[in-house]
Structure 1
């Protein structure tokens, strides 16, 4: 039956050149510590912080793709209510991630970090071909960004324990969907950190 075969298009970690990678951090915004979703968001955020630190050390670009919605215009707000409004603290990179000079920030107004943004141009200029993705929500902004990455012929790695689901569906199904439909290689933070450091 169609789809029963093993996915032969998945990334082989031992063949990835870290120099062709970029770390894409999707909507890890605000401070989850002490908030109502701390139990869901804090650990993945801290795992992402590890990856960002490793990426900077290895010279792998760190790209934060952050909601920057315009109140009264963006359709997404009618579905989810006000969130990630441009210029507010809730639209800023999480302090746990220690954003530094030299990191990149792409503001977005839709789920996908590619839609009507400069992400594709930036990746082309950086020479990135393999995207290491993490962030929130696994089933919304991460999935749509990964979909567009696949449609644009990037190799995709998703760090499962550096993503989180809290709005739609569940984590396991979300990761499985991206693996099946977008050839996303699902890895742990430890595996991604080793890849970035050239130890995969």
Structure 2
């Protein structure tokens, strides 16, 4: 086989928003020569067995995130590598375009207490990759400053130079960096498949019970961006290719 056959879930708002048909599943055929795995902001030194210092506040790693990275994203990457799919990492960095007057820097400072001018200055455990999910030498690493991985980066060129048409996406978080990246991917005519059990977002006190912020983010992707699938379905699709 020269393609992955992956069930892609989407959400139908027809015939009316008040009375939608809801979820449907389409079997997607993803060519091995035009598909890539995209990891969005799967960084931070907190996913290895040994504890990491300097990760607190919004950068604290909880058990849910550890489970997603170690038990789902890592096996997904291994499965993608086994069938020859390129792996592209998006990661934040402190770009030279950020100064004390930058509105994004000041937004971060007043809302989260994080001053990227100091807290993102390398080396920092905030932006390091844990060994369990660090890029390999032949992976593509694209650095970004803002939420979307397409904003003022080489991501689009890196994908098009490799003939990529389909993006299988995992990482964080489903509303901000990953969420805006996949919207920008749609604008550039990529077909997007987010592995919905390989993403999460921070929950407000009002949404924490039930995980409603992440629920809405996934529903938004299924209605307005592309498809979702699961880590298990992706690995099964890769295993079928490998066996063939």
Q: Are 1:54 and 2:96 counterparts?
A: no
Q: In 1, distance between residues paired with 2:185 and 2:105?
A: 24
Tell me the equivalent position of 1:27: 41
Tell me the equivalent position of 2:64: 40
CA drift of 1:197 comes to 4.2
CA drift of 1:5 comes to 5.8
Tell me the equivalent position of 2:193: 157
For structure 1, which segment, 63-72 or 20-29, has the greater mean C-alpha deviation from structure 2 after superposition?
Answer: 63-72
Q: Are 1:118 and 2:142 counterparts?
A: no
1:79–1:128 Cα change, 3 Å:
same
Q: 1 or 2, which has the higher strand percentage?
A: 2
1:127–1:108 Cα change, 3 Å:
same
Report the 3-state secondary structure (helix = DSSP H, G, I; strand = E; otherwise coil) of the residue aligned with 1:15. strand
CA drift of 1:69 comes to 2.5
Q: 1 or 2, which has the higher helix percentage?
A: 1
Confirm or deny: 8 A CA contact 1:30 1:91 kept in the other structure: yes
Q: In 2, distance between residues paired with 1:2 and 1:90?
A: 45
Q: Are 1:186 and 2:228 counterparts?
A: yes
CA drift of 1:113 comes to 0.6
Q: In 1, distance between residues paired with 2:22 and 2:37?
A: 23
Residue segments in structure 1 that go unaligned for 5+ positions in a row: none
1:14–1:67 Cα change, 3 Å:
same
TM-score (norm 1): 0.85
Larger Rg: 2
Q: How does 1:71-86 map to 2 (within 5 A)?
A: 72=99, 75-80=103-108, 81-82=114-115, 85=120
Q: In 2, distance between residues paired with 1:39 and 1:58?
A: 30
Residue segments in structure 2 that go unaligned for 5+ positions in a row: 1-14, 109-113, 205-211
TM-score (norm 2): 0.71
Deviation digits for residues 147-199 of structure 1 (CA, Å, limit 9, x no counterpart): 001111111000111111126662111100111111x2111111122334455
Deviation digits for residues 5-39 of structure 1 (CA, Å, limit 9, x no counterpart): 6689x984442223321111001111234564322
Deviation digits for residues 95-147 of structure 1 (CA, Å, limit 9, x no counterpart): 22142110010000110111111111111111111101111111100110010
